[in-house]
Amino acid sequence: MSKPKSILKVVLPLLLGVILVWYSLSQISVSTLVQYFKDADYSWIILGVVLGVLSHASRAYRWLYMAEPLGYKPNFTNSFMAVYSAYLINFTIPRAGEIARATILTNYEDIPFDKGFGTIVAERVADTIMLLLIIAIALLLEFEFIYDFFIKKFNPTSLMIAVIFFLLIGIAIYFFIKKSNSKFALKVKGFLSGLIEGALSIFKMKKKWAFIFHTIFIWSMYVIMFYVTTFALPELQNISFAAILIGFILASFSIAATNGGIGSFPEAVVIAFLLFNMAEDPSRAFGWIMWSTQTLIIIIFGGLSLIYLPIYNRKKTTV
């Protein structure tokens, strides 16, 4: 990869994050935001934090099932610290966390980098499938709401034309990718092939049901964590589960848009909650509370992990 392209991949998400932070804080005064933080019920926020830690612990334990078929029996503590270290590093350079996690496992568990990184990529396949499943559930549960929303916003005839148009575009893209040998087409085919291969490999694992259980548990904790934290603000007490699902989905995508979702996470929440006629200020405040508390835990646990990893493994390194 060329140096300018590498720099852009680091700078652009940071720049977008800064712009979105500025925009978000221009939509709500700092004093109002601080007041929401003061008035929040922290028992629900703490519960959300605990659920977040449980999901990450489950992620660390799930990875042990990935390493076992390769002939390795890594330490759970190292895996746990590697997960939090990766999350923390992702705040500085997007996607660098996965490389750092594989490097940590190489240094402290003697797992070859390529094999360790391969298992982490396979994990991402399982996570992508779960996110797609959550999106599918949201579409099924809220089909009527989504249908009515688009009918109200757009003329039915125009909407039908748009659906047919995008359907034809989709079919055209499908046949183009299928027959083309261009760099883009090969990348898409490689991604889809890897997704299918990764999904099928899960069912070939010795402890596949344990792996599937942890995958479902991780994402259930994410959604429940998002849900229970809404109880911290009285204005969101009556929020619908549909709003929670849509908010969670958009917030999940926002994390990929900027480093750790900085700036983009609160605004993604606002966009989702406004669809369900929730008040804008508490929606934005919730986004900031949710993002900042989870980020704080990642900074603390990730920082401590990076410090403690060489101390915890000092006996191994001196042998």
pLDDT digits (tens, 9 = 90+) for 228-240: 999 999 999 888 8
Instruction: Indicate if the pLDDT at residue 34 is higher than 70.
Output: yes
pLDDT of residue 301: 95
Nearest to 243 by CA among 278, 293, 288: 278
pLDDT tens-digit series, residues 215-272: 999 999 999 999 999 999 999 988 888 889 989 999 998 887 888 888 899 999 999 9
| Element holding 218 (H helix, E strand) | helix 208-230
Tell me the one-letter amino acid at 23: Y
pLDDT band at 305 (very low <50, low <70, confident <90, very high): very high
**CA 34, 39, 44, 47: dihedral to nearest 10 degrees?**
50
pLDDT of residue 147: 65
Which residue did the predictor score with more confidence, 106 or 155? 106
DSSP E strands in the chain: the ranges are: none
Question: In this structure, what are the phi and psi dihedrals at residue 90, rounded to the nearest 5 degrees?
Answer: -65, -20
Highest mean pLDDT among 128-137, 196-205, 293-302: 293-302
pLDDT band at 290 (very low <50, low <70, confident <90, very high): very high
Measured distance CA(298)–CA(85) in Å, rounded: 8
pLDDT of residue 199: 58
Instruction: Indicate if the pLDDT at residue 197 is higher than 70.
Output: no
Contact 63, 127 (CB under 8 A): no
- Burial of 157 by CB count in 10 Å (0-12 exposed, 13-18 middle, 19+ buried)? exposed
318 Cα distance to chain centroid? 37
pLDDT tens-digit series, residues 61-79: 998 888 887 777 888 999 9
203 Cα distance to chain centroid? 23
| Element holding 53 (H helix, E strand) | helix 42-67
pLDDT tens-digit series, residues 112-158: 887 777 778 788 888 888 999 998 888 887 767 666 666 666 566 66
Which residue did the predictor score with more confidence, 196 or 109? 109
pLDDT band at 275 (very low <50, low <70, confident <90, very high): confident
Q: Which residues contact 32 (CB under 8 A, 6 or more apart)?
A: 281, 285
Nearest to 123 by CA among 212, 192, 223, 193: 212
pLDDT band at 12 (very low <50, low <70, confident <90, very high): confident
Which residue did the predictor score with more confidence, 122 or 307? 307
Measured distance CA(272)–CA(283) in Å, rounded: 9
pLDDT of residue 319: 47
Measured distance CA(232)–CA(293) in Å, rounded: 12
How far the first Cα of the chain sits from its last, in Å, is: 38
Place of tokens 């261009």: 182
Which residue did the predictor score with more confidence, 184 or 277? 277
Which residue did the predictor score with more confidence, 87 or 3? 87
pLDDT tens-digit series, residues 76-103: 999 999 999 999 988 877 777 888 888 8
pLDDT band at 195 (very low <50, low <70, confident <90, very high): low
Contact 290, 269 (CB under 8 A): yes
| Mean pLDDT calculated for residue range 191-195 | 61
Instruction: Indicate if the pLDDT at residue 303 is higher than 90.
Output: yes
Measured distance CA(190)–CA(177) in Å, rounded: 11
Contact 209, 203 (CB under 8 A): no
Measured distance CA(98)–CA(306) in Å, rounded: 14
Q: Which residues contact 277 (CB under 8 A, 6 or more apart)?
A: none
Contact 101, 82 (CB under 8 A): yes
pLDDT tens-digit series, residues 162-189: 667 767 777 777 677 777 777 777 777 6
